[in-house]
Chains A and B, each alone.
Chain A
Amino acid sequence: MNPLLDHAQHLARRELFGRAATGIGTAALASLLARDGLADDSSTGGLKVPGLPGLPHFAPQAKRVIYLFQNGAPTHVDLFDYKPRLAEMHGQPVPDEYFAGKRFSTMTGDPTGKLMLAPVEPFAQRGESGAWVSAFLPYTAAIADDLCFVKSMHTDAVNHAPAISFLLSGGQLPGRPTLGAWLSYGLGCETDSLPSFAVMTSVSKGTTCGQIFYDFYWGSGFLPSKYQGVKFRGSAEPVLYLSDPPGMSREMRRGLLDDVARLNEIKLQDYGDPEIATRIAQYEMAYRMQTSVPELADFSDETQATLDMYGPDVTEPGTYAYNCLMTRRLIERGVRMVQLMHAGWDQHGSITTELYTQCKDTDQASAALVQDLKQRGLLDDTLVIWGGEFGRTPFLQGDINDRPKWGRDHHPYAFTVWMAGGGVKPGLTYGESDDLAMNVAKDPVHVHDLQATILHLLGIDHERLTFKFQGRYFRLTDVHGEVVDELLA
């Protein structure tokens, strides 16, 4: 016998049988994993689930990412990108030179003759930084000094699914790993009781929008599927198949899992297949998730002040506010990335109607999450990103005389995202669009630049986190992307 394996098996067996009442202990797990080559205490830096050797490439500013993804594309024109000239030109045709040679959605086709539409709510400069935020978003406005606005975002895609996929995976077609999958793959995870990449979705109340959350928005592409985002559902069972069947108590489950582990251990001794040890460990993690997930979703340990901060929807599973509080709880427990997606921002004909509901559903909780993280000292090493897949046209979609049906079409040439925490400069407004908010005028930030910057904040050189597939080395930023140094604190 190999003395090393013999020792590991002896250790595992002792732990298995010695601590059966409470399941396999962490130490035994670590030893099982270590023997699998799945973990190496000296190189994991305290990680429960290790990442790639050599990562992070340099000291990270942020350890975790929260992406508050605003599905459907919020209107930068009405929320952040204040342009007095737009109000002056309200109702006048869009000047040709602003769109020559550009491609729009087939709903707009050729923008010639489209009329400019002034923002429907007033703007004001906020906080000491003087960032412009409209009256649509009072809570966001109140924390403007904590935020870093990038007003010169631009993208390649004009339709939702390709543009969302582009932002999250670097490719317009399904099939590439998304940001969270890359992070799980590269950086591993601080918890082994929860998945490293969690996803939650919500939809605005009473929306007419029909966008679907495709699972490739959190897919692992060609990375192993264990890196894909785990969707937490807004229901009694946040993770599929989490609950034991009716009639099976926790104690009974514990006992059965110990039986399975004992029998698997006999098999392991007989066959020596390391995959068996991994399976024992994964069943243990499943058991822990059965406890950790319901505990995660139990808000009874939150103070009333905290609940109030997130707003009245916070206790209703499936709402944006509920998901925001869940996000903080996931982050606290060591989850690497939370991707929260909220649909309904697709205001083709509802700028004066549904946009109000949309903002009401999301504004308070988004701001609360940032404040809550800050109060708990988590904001310093947690990067929060708020934004959609593109912007909306500064010109009108619809009839200028029919105010209740005013809308704006898809607009990839300029839009705004904000970031907070995790190594970005608070109170900074970076980049500019032109005087009609149509095109980027100064300091353009392409989607790949944003991706490169996010990875940089996590201590990753975006050109060096690659995966070979079908003969090619792929990365999140494709073959592009430059870190935007000016955004870094």
Chain B
Amino acid sequence: MARRNWTPLCAVFLLVAYLPISSRADDAPSFSRDVLPILSDKCFKCHGPDEAQRAADLRLDEEASAKRSENGLTIVVEGDSGASELFRRITSSDPAEVMPPADSNLSLTTGEIELIRRWIDSGAEWGGHWAFEPITRPAVPDVSSLDVDVRNPIDAFIIDRLEREGLRPSPEAPRETLVRRVSLDLTGLAAPLPLVDRYLADPDPDAYDRLVERLLVSPAYGERMAWDWLDAARYADSNGYQGDNERTMWPWRDWVVSAFNENMPFDQFTIWQLAGDLLPDATHEQRLATGFCRNHMINGEGGRIPEENRVDYVMDMTETTGTVWLGLTFNCCRCHDHKFDPLSRRDYYSLFAFFNQTPVDGSGRSAQTPPILEAPTDEQAARRIELDELVNTAAGDLESFEQEFFPREEGQPSNQSEAAGELPDALKDVLSKPAVQRSREQLSELAMHYEASAAEYVSLLKALESALGQRDSLAGSIARVMVMADQDERRPTFLLEKGLYNKPEDVEVSMAVPARFSPLTEDAPQNRLGLAEWLVSPENPLTARVTVNRLWQQFFGTGLVKTAGDFGVQGEKPSHPALLDWLAAEFIASGWDVKHICRLIVTSATYRQSSKATPVLIERDPQNRLLARGARFRMPSWMMRDQALAASGLLVDTLGGRPVNPYQPEGVWEETTFGRKTYTQDHGAALYRRSLYTFWRRIIAPTMFFDSASRQVCTVNVSRTNTPLHALNLLNDVTYVEASRALAERVLLSSESDPIARADLAFRLVLARSLMPEEEEVILAAVERLRDDFEADPGQARELLAVGESPVNESLDVIEYATYTALCNAVLNLDEAVTKE
């Protein structure tokens, strides 16, 4: 088969190895693709959109300014670099004239200068920034003449590019690799063994597609998809800052999981979260969804000025929306016009104005600052009805009793009775109120007063007090989610000097989307709802692009645009611009169907490629941006934990609910907070819930996760580092040692008895593949060595088995049990085990 034949291709690699992977020498330079990034990077600082920093009144981000003539000089002369002042200055050898100037610490490479020369000489055709242009559905390249595997249009775009680069795609990955890869990608869990075995044994050509469908309907799919959304939404279980009070936003988190599981269209998903409260007759769920906006940190430090906090919160909402839906870095515009993108300070505060209408005033450190929404579980809601009835009954009983106990005129309160005449004033006050309005303390005082004299009355008082007590305690346990609402009176928005809350300038702005784009239509609601609808309308070219790019990043480790949070001029250009636009167009055409895009990706031949790399390919495309091979990268730390729990059988896969506190080294919270926050580790099932449900304290994130988003501000870029601290975590954390023991138990309880078969089972549980012959020797030696060690010191074996709170299986031989526990600890630490291959 041609695609397996590497030898002749190597010659091609060597010839093209040093060409940049972005463009070929014979293309006329494109302004958007080639020239604009150079101008942005090297010139816009002084000659860009920022009016305050602009030098010589020259801007190179606008065609008219760049091509104008003044005093006989023309900056850019179409077709003639020799006559262009710009070219003269960038090639000048006079230190006083050369651009960029020496003190800017910027310089142009000869390649960049040459590009600019060729662009001017070829006519200096202008263009806009690609990401701001409307999305048109590109034609799918015709690659039918090539002998390659094309399963859907994604492959055609990828192969078209590979063909131009002189590369060929890799063959499909082995089935074992595929089942593990796609299971981790769609559910975040190791594939269960029966699923693996069924798939491996299924000869049907559609077996893989059916596997994908099975995974897409698993509730674990929503949990997996939620993680990245929670990072973007800066979701946490505490406020952050000093005090770091606990909050109860988790019903919102559960809503996100179920929205993904129900495959809620992304446009609706958007509108609900940004403006569900403003929908006509907003439902509980629509209001709950707006918790997205309120996930920001709350600063309760002493000495803070409430208005300063309030403005911070609104800025956070504005910038989060800017990053998540527009892929733009708005924070620069707090203080000044953007230096690179066509975003002004006015644009920033116009967007800010949409979020500036909440009644939140920024005071206090309450983690339940109104507006809030109570979000009882079904059980709590039912119990609340019961307790309301209980209170009403007890109050009714008390009222009827008092009719006789405190005889008085019809319609008068009890304190008007002569029988109440001798009572202290405080108790008379209590009796002036209807029974249901009395507090528990007041009821208790009355009961004390009558303790000796009126047993029946006292028991009725106590019954009501107890009913109220139960109702209060239930109310206290119901999660209260901070949500959005707009106040009636419109709060005016002003430009803020340097973004300072107390430095409003005399310039009022109204709610508007950035001026670069088509505005809200006149009949659209002029509020957050209007904004949310605009974000998912054809007027906005960014939401679909930014969203499919984040999905791509989730599966391939890197987005088609590597800077997932920056689609502006300074962001990276897409590796496959047409594919990105095709996916965006497809996303919209499908009715913003997230599962559809996920399905397209994972069923593509591109995704299904083997991730084996040849030395030449590594040299040619070290970051695998061209995708001539499958993606291979270390999975997120939360996924490793979930994989270990699932593979070992410890996982408790209950969906949703309060956050849990699994194992964590002692004293970590206490040290950081001088003992004011105590970590109370949970026990039992709570130790084995999916990582998604781990309590996230903002000032000290869970220690078991690394390379995670801080959950302090919106994060859409992934971080993947490789440090010894990660190794220590995976080798020694109770979670992984216990999972090793549980895995060993599964292996020892199977029918297998020889070391190779047992290790093979452990491999299949974690890696979905069998042991390879060349690995057997290592395994055999390890088992023998470990067994000898533990036999020499059985106490060690017992100590190792005692790690973790799950019960030790007393029926197993201690030495064998410990031997395989240690072996499984090694298996969970294999590069392959921590990698999505």
- A-side interface residues toward B, CB under 8 Å? 1-2, 4-5, 105-107, 159, 161, 174-175, 195, 201, 203, 210-216, 224-226, 230, 233-235, 237, 239-249, 251-253, 255-256, 259-260, 262-264, 266-268, 270-276, 278-280, 282-283, 285-286, 288-290, 343, 463-464, 468, 470-472
Q: How far, in whole Å, are A276 and B831 apart by their CA atoms in the complex?
A: 6
Judged by a CB distance under 8 angstroms, whether B615 is at the interface is yes
Q: Is B440 an interface residue (CB 8 A)?
A: no
Considering the complex, give the chain B residue whose CB is closest to the CB of A214. B699
How far apart are the CA atoms of A136 and B302 in the complex, in Å?
Answer: 29
Selected contact of A225 from candidates B305, B707, B831, CB within 8 Å: B707
For B743-776 the 0/1 string (1 means CB < 8 A from A) is 0000000000000000000000000000010110
Q: Are the C-beta atoms of B789 and A279 separated by less than 8 Å?
A: no
What are 13 A-B pairs at a CB distance below 8 A?
Answer: A212-B673, A239-B725, A239-B728, A242-B732, A245-B800, A248-B822, A256-B825, A259-B781, A282-B722, A282-B726, A283-B829, A286-B725, A343-B674
Query: Would A241 and B831 count as touching, CB distance under 8 A?
Result: no
Contacts of A212 in B (CB 8 A): 242, 244, 672-674, 699
Q: Cβ of B559: which chain A residues have Cβ within 8 Å of it?
A: none
Bound Cα distance from A383 to B568, whole angstroms: 41
Q: Is the Cβ of B570 less than 8 Å from the Cβ of A470?
A: yes
- CB within 8 Å for A272 and B339 given contacts A159-B304, A471-B570: no
Q: Is B209 an interface residue (CB 8 A)?
A: no
Q: Decide: A247 and B796 in contact? CB cutoff 8 A.
A: yes
Cα distance, A290 to B568, chains bound together (Å): 45
Is B799 in the interface zone, CB < 8 Å from A?
Answer: yes
Note all chain A residues with C-beta closer than 8 A to B826: 256, 259-260, 263
The yes or no answer to B354 lying at the interface (CB within 8 A) is no
Pair B674/A203 contact, Cβ less than 8 Å: yes
**Which of these, B568, B615, B616, B737, contacts A245 with CB under 8 Å?**
B737
Contact (Cβ within 8 A) A175 B713? yes
A213 and B569 contacting across the interface, CB-CB below 8 Å: no
Chain A minimum-CB-distance residue to B798: A247
With A and B bound together, what is the CA distance between A241 and B701 in angstroms?
15
Q: Note all chain A residues with C-beta closer than 8 A to B451.
A: none
- B731–A161 touching, CB < 8 Å: no
Interface hit among B54-62, B511-519, B606-614: B606-614
B632, A271: Cβ atoms closer than 8 Å: yes
Nearest A residue to B242, CB-CB: A212
Measured between alpha carbons, how far is A238 from B336 in the docked complex, in Å? Answer: 45
**Complex Cα distance A338/B425, Å?**
67
Any A CB within 8 A of the CB of B650:
no
Closest residue on chain A to residue B725 by CB atoms:
A230
Please name the residue on chain B nearest to A235 by beta carbon: B667
Asked if A248 and B796 sit within 8 Å, CB to CB, the answer is yes
> In chain B, residues 803-820, which have Cβ atoms closer than 8 Å to a Cβ of chain A?
803, 818
Q: Which residues of A contact B728 (CB under 8 A)?
A: 239-242, 286, 289-290
B571 within 8 A of A: yes
Sample of 5 more A-B contacts, CB < 8 Å, known A242-B728, A252-B786, A282-B722: A240-B725, A247-B797, A249-B789, A272-B618, A470-B570
A-B CB contacts (within 8 Å), total count: 214
Q: Answer yes or no: B565 CB below 8 A from chain A CBs.
A: yes
Complex: how many Å from CA A201 to CA B673?
Answer: 12
Residue of A nearest to B803 (CB): A245
From A4, A161, A240, A343, give the contact of B665 (CB < 8 A). A240
Which of A226, A230, A273, A470 is within 8 Å of B613, CB to CB? Answer: A273
The 3 closest A-B pairs by CB, nearest first: A471-B570, A247-B800, A247-B799
Interface contact B703-A224, CB-CB below 8 Å: no
Check B803–A255 contact: CB distance below 8 A: no
| A106 adjacent to B304 (CB under 8 Å) | yes
| A282 pairs with B723, CB closer than 8 A | yes
A468 — which chain B residues lie within 8 A by C-beta?
570
What residues of A have a CB within 8 angstroms of the CB of B722 in the complex? Answer: 226, 275, 278-279, 282
Chain B residues whose C-beta falls within 8 Å of the C-beta of A286 in the assembled complex:
724-725, 727-728, 731
681-733 of chain B: CB within 8 A of chain A: 699-701, 703, 706-707, 710, 712-713, 719, 721-729, 731-733
Q: Would A470 and B329 count as touching, CB distance under 8 A?
A: yes
B706/A225 in contact, CB under 8 A = yes
In whole Å, how far is A361's beta carbon from the nearest beta carbon of chain B?
15
Question: Does the CB pair B612–A272 fall under 8 Å?
Answer: yes
Scoring A210, A276, A470 by chain B CB atoms within 10 A of each residue's CB, the highest score goes to A470
Once the chains bind, are A246 and B830 in contact (CB under 8 Å)? no
The residues of A that contact B244 with a CB separation of less than 8 Å are: 212
Given contacts A5-B615, A225-B706, contact A159 B700 (CB under 8 A): no
User: What chain B residues lie within 8 Å of A343 (beta carbons)?
Assistant: 674
Do A248 and B800 contact each other (CB < 8 Å), given the known contacts A1-B615, A203-B674? yes
Contacts of A263 in B (CB 8 A): 775, 778, 826, 830
Q: Which residue on chain B has the smallest CB distance to residue A470? A: B329
Provide the bound-state CA to CA distance between A264 and B823, in Å: 15
